[in-house]
Each structure stands twice: as structure tokens, then as C-alpha cells.
Structure 1
Amino acid sequence: MPFTFSEIIVLFFTYSVIGWIWETIYCSIKDHHYDYRGFLFGPYCPVYGFAVTTILICTYRIQNNIFLLYVVGVIVATIFEYFASVFLQYVFHMKLWDYSHLWGNIQGRVAPIISLFWGIGVVFLVKVIQPFIQKLITWEEIKTHGYLALIIVIVMGTDFILTIFSVEKLHMSTKSWNERLNTRMKLDEGKLNQAFDKLMETLSWNQKRFLTSFPQLKFTDTKKFNQFKNRWIKKRRES
């Protein structure tokens, strides 16, 4: 094993934060408004942490071979993205991204052009970013003797539990609202939109963040809610 257990935890946390920063900046520029990205409450995206840490471990013996590094990076990143999508859909009934419009996609979860991009990112990460990050983590290990890893586990573990409750509450609310919208279809569109706006005001900050920061988010069992949600997001951004 090229890293100690506490180093792996700190690596995971570090790249979760870096991933959150990258995704927040990129999506905010692309969408022309601030997007607080990430599935959890805190400023970190665990999917990046898991993927990068796994890549660093899997490529430890081939990091001097650029071609093998690129290929393994593509494979590992694609597998993570696919199973992250499956996990979100079947555990939380959510879809945060959809590549159905891209050539060669698999169930809209992964696509060749995205995977090839991840490969480039992995090479850049291992060759340029990781040497600097490793120096910081080695210094941190000497200074904290692994206690930082313990704090990270407590903080992110608590965050994960709170997020599960928040998402499940949002899912149950959307199912309830979906049923209400279906029963009110005889109302005109204006009254339906007003009723939906009132329902949305009852959401918490984090639940509204999910809907606005992930415009492709869909609950797989609330078709009518998804339609009105898209209109609500557009109206919110224009105001």
C-alpha cells in the first residue's frame, strides 16, 4: 500500500474539496450564476475524493508510463461515474447528470467524450497536482499524527447522515406534490404555477440548492413535478 490509512482519508478529503472548487467554478461560469455544487452540505464532492484516491492507488506502479496512466484513469473514472449514477438513482431516486444527448453514452450515465476528458484530467492530476499535495499531506501527518483524519471522518460522516435525511425528506415532499399536481390538472396553468410556487417556498435552503444547482436533477417517480420544477428554476433565474 503506497499510503497509510490516515493519508488515504486526508487525500480523499483534499480531492473532494478540490473537486468541489473546480465544479463550482466551472458550472457557475457555464450557467452564468453561482452554483453551490456538491451532494453534501459542506464544500466537498466525495465522488472526486473516491475516484482520485482509487486512481492514485491503482496507478502507483505505472505513473511513469503516460499511456497506461491515461488508460487506467479513463477506466477507473468511468466506472466510478457509472456506479455513482446508479447509486443516486436507486437509493435516492435522483439523476444529477444525463449524457443521453452524447454519442455512445450508456444509459445516459457515462459517455466516451466525458471519459476521455477524465483520462486527461488524471494524467494532469498525477503528474502536476499530486506531487505538491503529497508534500502537504506528509507535513500534515508529521504535525497532527493522524488526528486530522479522525476529524474528517466525524465531520463528513455527520454531513452524510444529515444529507440523507434532507434528500429523503425532499423526495417524499416531491412525491406528495406530484400527486397534488396530478389531481389539480383541471386548473388553468397560471393557478397551477402559483400553487407550485407556494409549495416550493416550504423547501429548506439545501433542498432549493439541489434543484437550482443541479438543473438536470430528476426524481424518477415524479414526472409531473419534474416538469413544473424546470419552469420554476427558469423563473427563479430570470428574477
Structure 2
Amino acid sequence: MIVLFFTYSVVGWLWETIYCSIKDHQYAYRGFLFGPYCPVYGFAITTILITTYQVRDNLFLLFIVGMIVASIFEYVASLFLEKVFHMKLWDYSDLWGNLQGRIAPQISFFWGIGVILLVRFIQPIVQRVINWEEGWTHGMLALLIVVVMGTDTVMTMISVKHFHMTTKQWDQRINAFQEQLRERLKEALPEERALRRRQLEHWDQSFVDQLKEHPGKSLGWNERRIIKSFPKMKVLDAKRFNQVKQHLSNK
């Protein structure tokens, strides 16, 4: 089970990295952890394989059960990220019939088709490879996976907590900048008020311009990677940071 989980975590990372690199016309290192794997794929697919085992020979039931289980998993994963890390990495609010922007019928339908392809065509090949590997290593690979991914998870949680603290610090800096713009507007001469008012109305661009003139502290490598990997990510308690995060990720 551990090797199965790891295998699909790596496959999921490869899929996302290749797809997003092609879509963005540049290399995109995907994933939430440091290593080349996406555990959400490992957890999701392992769970789906277990829950659909009894209906794997019935195409219709396989589609329905797979669609339901995958959607539940996606909803729970979204809720977990929001409550624990104050982040929203995907948002289906613009899709018809969505539930709190976490899941949507169109996406769930896609998951159902994907589960059929997974169970009927992909998993038999993957299982043969895993059986061969287990016979060769006698469980040592599974132990190595636990150590490596466990360490990576702890390091990533520390990094994400630091990232969250950083976003709040940027929010405070932006608040101070906006207050400075308000003071300048109050003290502005009549001929300067139109300019000061525009600067306040478009504070995000004014803030970016100031950073270009007076560059200071920038985000770390992993923080920039997270923003680039999840461009729709929202930090729920640092709303002003969300408006300038793309610029900061390029610094």
C-alpha cells in the first residue's frame, strides 16, 4: 500500500508538471512538498482503488462510485487546506453547480471517467511492477519512502507556516503603505490631489512601483514556487497580499 501510494504520488507530480509546463510555456515545478511527488494523488487514488474494488467489473457502478469518492476527497482536501493552512489552492466558483467552489459537477464527471481508465487499464500494469519490486526489495523501499516523505512533510509544514507568517507581514506593510498614501492625499496641494487620489485608488500598482524603486526583502524559493505552482491560490487572512503576490513571486 505504501509503494502504491508513492507510485501514484510521483505519477501525479509528473502529470501536473508536464501539463502545466506545456500550458505555461515554461518549466513549472508542481507539488506542495519539496520532493517530486504529490501526496494528494497518492491518497486519492489509493482510496479510490480500495473503495471501487468490489465494483471494478461493473463499468457503470465503477464510474458512479469513483466519481463520488473522488469528489468527496477533493472537497475534504480543500477544506483541510483552508482550515489548517488558511489557503485555497483551487476555486470552481465560476463553474455551474459548484459547492462552495470546492467541487463542481463538470470536474466530478471528469474524475468518474478517470477512475474507469485508472482501474481498468492503468492499475493492472502498475500492480505488476509493484509486485516485482516487492519481491526484489522485501519491503525496504516502503521503509525508505516513509522516512523520506515523512521528513519532507515536516519540513514543508514548517515552510508553509513560515510562508503564512510572511504573507501577514506583507499585509501589514501594505496597510502601512495605504495609510501613507492617505496622509499624502490629506496634505496634498490642490494641483497634486488628483494624482494622490489615483495612487490611492490603484494602491496595488503604486505599491509595486515603489518596490521597483526601493527593492527590499523578497520571498524565499519555496514560497515563490508555491505561488507559481498554484496561481489561483488565496491566502484567506492576507487579502491584500493576494493582489500583489504574482509580482512578489517574480522578484
- Do the structures match in fold with TM over 0.5? yes
- Secondary structure of 2:54 counterpart: coil
Correspondence for 1:180 among 173, 179, 194: 173
Correspondence for 1:116 among 101, 109, 125: 109
Is the 1:39–1:45 Cα contact (8 Å) retained in structure 2?
yes
Alpha-carbon distance between aligned partners in 1 of 2:216 and 2:172, rounded to the nearest angstrom? 13
1:50-65 alignment runs, 5 A limit: 50-65=43-58
Alpha-carbon distance between aligned partners in 2 of 1:160 and 1:75, rounded to the nearest angstrom? 28
Is the 1:196–1:228 Cα contact (8 Å) retained in structure 2?
no
1:47-196 alignment runs, 5 A limit: 47-185=40-178, 186-187=180-181, 188=199, 189=203, 192-194=207-209, 196=211
Correspondence for 1:41 among 21, 34, 41: 34
**Change over 3 Å in CA distance of 1:87–1:200 after alignment to 2:** farther
Alpha-carbon distance between aligned partners in 1 of 2:109 and 2:132, rounded to the nearest angstrom? 34
TM-score by length of 2: 0.86
Gaps of 5+ in 2: 182-198
1:141-186 Cα shifts (integer Å, max 9, x gaps): 1111111111101100000000000010010011011011011113
Q: Which residue of 2 aligns with 1:5?
A: none
TM-score by length of 1: 0.90
Amino acid at match of 2:208: N
Shift of 1:232: 4.4
Gaps of 5+ in 1: 1-7
**Change over 3 Å in CA distance of 1:84–1:104 after alignment to 2:** same
RMSD of aligned residue pairs (Cα, Å): 1.7
The size of the alignment, in residue pairs, is: 227
Correspondence for 1:19 among 1, 12, 19: 12
Correspondence for 2:225 among 202, 209, 212: 209
Q: Which residue of 1 aligns with 2:185?
A: none
Pick the structure with greater CA Rg: 2
Alpha-carbon distance between aligned partners in 1 of 2:170 and 2:216, rounded to the nearest angstrom? 8
Alpha-carbon distance between aligned partners in 2 of 1:115 and 1:20, rounded to the nearest angstrom? 20
Shift of 1:26: 1.5
- Secondary structure of 1:56 counterpart: helix
**Higher alpha-carbon deviation: 43-52 or 184-193:** 184-193
1:70-91 Cα shifts (integer Å, max 9, x gaps): 1111011101110110111110
Q: Which residue of 2 aligns with 1:223?
A: 239
Percent identity, aligned pairs only?
61
Amino acid at match of 2:143: L
Is the 1:82–1:110 Cα contact (8 Å) retained in structure 2?
yes
Alpha-carbon distance between aligned partners in 1 of 2:139 and 2:217, rounded to the nearest angstrom? 44
**Change over 3 Å in CA distance of 1:33–1:15 after alignment to 2:** same
Shift of 1:213: 1.5
